Structure formats: C-alpha cells, structure tokens
C-alpha cells in the first residue's frame, strides 16, 4: 500500500497511468467495433420445420361467407418477423366466368414489433377496393376455393456469434369445405383426418364453412405423452358449433397398443384423452365437436 501511495505521489506516474488507461480503453472500443457484426450483412439460412411440439404453429378459421380465412399464429413472441404465403386454386372469380382452376397466392407480413405471443390476421380470397371486406359490390372474390397450403417464414432474432440469419419455414396444408349435409362428413387435404356426424340435415346446414389444417406445433402436450403422426385443427366460423361425431385419424403404420386420440380443451387449457378404438393404422374416437386433435402414445 505504501509503495502504491508513493507511486501515485509522483504526478508523472499519474499522467502516464491515465494515458495508459485511455489507450487501453480506446483499443478495446476499436476491437469491439471491429468484431461487431451487422446482421443485415449475414447470409440467410432457411430451415424447414416439419413439426416441433414446442414450436410456433398456426390455426385457420373460415369466415362465415367462405371468402376469407383468419390466420391465428401462436407461440411467436421470441421471433423477429413473420411472413406468410397462402397458396390455393380457384375456379376464376366473381368478376368472370372462370375457366378451369387458377393458381392464386396471397403474401403478407404480420407486424410483430410488440412481441406478442399470438397474432391474428384476416386473409381474403380476392381483393376489395373499400374497407368493408364483406361488400360484394366493392370486392372481387375467388370462387370454389377448397384446398391450399400455408407457408410461414419466421425469422429468429440475431444473437452474438451467429454466422447466419436463420428463418424457420413451415409448410402445412388446409382444406376448406361445407359439410356434406347428407353425410355430415369433414376431411383433411390428405384424407387421413375424417370427422363424420349423424346430426340431422337441418342441424348440419347451419354449420357453414369448416376448415381442417395441419399444425407445425401444438399446445402443451400431456405429461408423459408424445405425438404420433400429424396434429390437425378443425375449425368453424366464430359462434358456430359442429355436432358431435366419430373421428378417424389414419397413421402411416399400425397404431401401437395404448394409442389415444386427444382433443385440446381450450376452456380448460388441457388435452382431453378420448376413449379410442384401434384398427390397424386407424384410431377412432367419439368427438364432442371441432377442435385440435392428435394421436398420443407414451413417451419413450
């Protein structure tokens, strides 16, 4: 301590120490600036995300007139940006007679600066010249839209040390339809999800449009369970209810013993495991209505 006091009692030593600290500080700042990376200059890597039970996912809802769907995206608060592309075919539009099937596509960006966990976006099957997207007089809608794909590009935020900008790409299919009133029959695009109700034609006729889409993620799974095959969401227009029915999900291979169909109970934020019958690669259960469905087996 005495030597330190003696050292700093000399003004020349104090000046030299201050100069040395300034040099070291400036050098550190220069090195840090040199090593700092501008994320916009990094190359982009696109990673296909088929299914991640804890990852982001989208649920589609049909609008009551069938001329639009609502895109609901969940579990995306930790991501930087969200772009979507909806691709489908139509038999022309309400402005023409339509000749065969026409490929259509709608692209857009969801504003995510506020970092919410969930976002909702209406996507029109067509264009409107006024704000009222229900008005037939000011809108041109595509006709007979039924099958399509949803592509989500979700950008991961830059973290120090990243060598690339990572974008997770999720591609899922969807099937928009009105119930076959004679059969009360709803299917997915791949036909591996089938829902059949024995409700009366009068009850089915008021259901309106339904949509079944595949999910790239899922609500929190039951403890000790894992998903087998695809997760499907079957949804209706707001305030509509689909009658109870029999649900069949077809798997690629035979279903293991103990496989169960689960339906997500949104009101209680949990999965209800339904009494399930197994027939080879098919699992069959009685369902109380629309919702998110998956086949569960015990975790290994």
Which of 25-34, 138-147, 167-176, 190-199 is least confident? 25-34
Give the tens place of pLDDT for each residue, 235-285.
Answer: 999 888 999 999 999 999 999 999 999 999 999 999 999 999 999 999 999
What is the total count of domains within the chain? 2
Domain assignment present for 110: yes
Which pLDDT score, from 0 to 100, does residue 3 have? 61
Domain assignment present for 43: no
Which pLDDT score, from 0 to 100, does residue 105 have? 85
Give the tens place of pLDDT for each residue, 202-231.
Answer: 888 888 899 999 999 999 999 999 999 999
CA 158 – CA 164 distance, rounded (Å):
8
Domain carrying residue 95: 48-298
Give the tens place of pLDDT for each residue, 97-137.
Answer: 555 678 888 888 877 777 788 888 899 998 888 888 888 88
Same domain, 118 and 11: no
- Max CA separation in the chain (angstroms): 101
| pTM of the complete model | 0.81
Which pLDDT score, from 0 to 100, does residue 103 have? 85
Q: Which two tokens stand for residue 298?
A: 């015990």
If you average pLDDT over residues 27-33, what whole number do you get? 48
Same domain, 20 and 122: no
Q: Above 60 in pLDDT, residue 33?
A: no
Same domain, 113 and 247: yes
CA atoms within 13 A on the CB side of 77: 5
If you average pLDDT over residues 84-88, what whole number do you get? 91
Same domain, 203 and 86: yes
Q: Above 50 in pLDDT, residue 32?
A: no
CA 260 – CA 262 distance, rounded (Å):
6
Q: Above 90 in pLDDT, residue 39?
A: no
Domain assignment present for 116: yes
CB-based contact 212:186 (threshold 8 Å): yes
If you average pLDDT over residues 129-149, what whole number do you get? 88
């Amino acid at each position: 301590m005495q030597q330190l006091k003696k050292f700093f009692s000399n003004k020349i030593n104090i000046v030299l120490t201050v100069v040395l600290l300034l040099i070291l500080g400036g050098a550190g700042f220069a090195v840090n600036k040199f090593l700092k990376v501008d994320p916009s200059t990094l190359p982009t890597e696109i990673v296909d995300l088929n299914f991640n039970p804890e990852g982001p996912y989208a649920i589609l809802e049909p609008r009551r007139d069938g001329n639009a769907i609502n895109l609901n995206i969940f579990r995306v608060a930790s991501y930087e940006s969200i772009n979507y592309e909806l691709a489908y075919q139509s038999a022309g539009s309400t402005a023409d007679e339509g000749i065969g099937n026409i490929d259509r596509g709608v692209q857009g960006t969801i504003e995510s600066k506020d970092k919410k966990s969930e976002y909702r976006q209406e996507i029109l099957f067509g264009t409107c010249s006024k704000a009222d997207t229900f008005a037939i007089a000011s809108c041109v809608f595509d006709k007979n839209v039924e099958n399509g794909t949803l592509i989500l590009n979700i950008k991961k935020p830059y973290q120090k040390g990243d060598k690339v900008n990572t974008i997770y790409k999720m591609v899922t299919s969807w099937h928009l339809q009105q119930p076959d009133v004679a059969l009360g029959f709803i299917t997915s695009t791949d036909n591996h999800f089938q829902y059949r109700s024995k409700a009366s034609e009068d009850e089915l006729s008021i259901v309106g449009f339904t949509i079944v889409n595949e999910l790239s993620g899922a609500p929190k799974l039951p403890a000790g369970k894992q998903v087998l095959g695809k997760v499907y969401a079957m949804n209706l227009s707001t305030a509509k209810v689909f009658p109870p029915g029999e649900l069949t999900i077809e798997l690629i291979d035979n279903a293991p013993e103990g496989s169960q169909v689960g339906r997500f109970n949104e009101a209680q934020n949990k999965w209800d495991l339904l009494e399930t019958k197994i027939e080879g690669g098919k699992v069959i259960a009685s369902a109380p209505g629309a919702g998110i469905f998956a086949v569960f087996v015990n975790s290994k």
